[in-house]
Structure 1
Amino acid sequence: MNTISKEVCPGRRRRRKHNAEFKAQVVAACRPGGVSIAAVAMAHGVNANLARRWVLSAERGDMGQPATCESAVVPSFMPLRLPSAEPAPADIRIELRRGSTTINVCWPGAAAAECAAWMRELLR
């Protein structure tokens, strides 16, 4: 005995399928700068996430094509040359002012960690 009816209940929501022309219309409305994709989606009666997906698909050029593993581009490793680290500054110069008193401190750059510890203790 089959308990599942083949009729769709009138109150039950079904997944909608939008044709390519409608998708292109929504994407075209989202293109101008300063336009809210959420507002365009709401005006067309679709979810903002769906409209954003259509815009991204249109930018990639795969609008209307289902996403498959074969068509997905697999990122590859690309080595980058990073600029060499700059040497530590010769000196760390700090000027402290409190009221009419000014103190100038010159600390060797190689001892930056010790300078930071000294400043933490001083500012307690």
Structure 2
Amino acid sequence: MDAQKSRKRRRYSRELKDQIIAECDAPGASVARVALSHGINANIVHGWRKLAGHAKPAVARPEFVPVAVAPMAPARVDERAVEFELRRGAVTLKVLWPLAAAAELAAFARELLR
């Protein structure tokens, strides 16, 4: 264990930190590139920027907006219709398809089950 070097924490002056933060705030600047040019890990610079309040703000997510949907009258079941039901776990898809368009139902089912 004598061969192991003890690692010491590096200290940076306030002026150097301010200079690096200013370089990062320049238009088109990359924090990683600025940090690398000074021989500092980018995570260190990100921490300085966060402490100084220069970190980019998180993108605001739109809030949930409830939408009222009017209930639909139940579809009239035509005697000449095909009922197609597909269950996958807790989800059930039920389709009433006109018998005259059975070929289109087959194509729809093939695409759905791919």
With structure 1 as the length reference, what TM-score do the two structures score?
0.46
TM-score (norm 2): 0.49
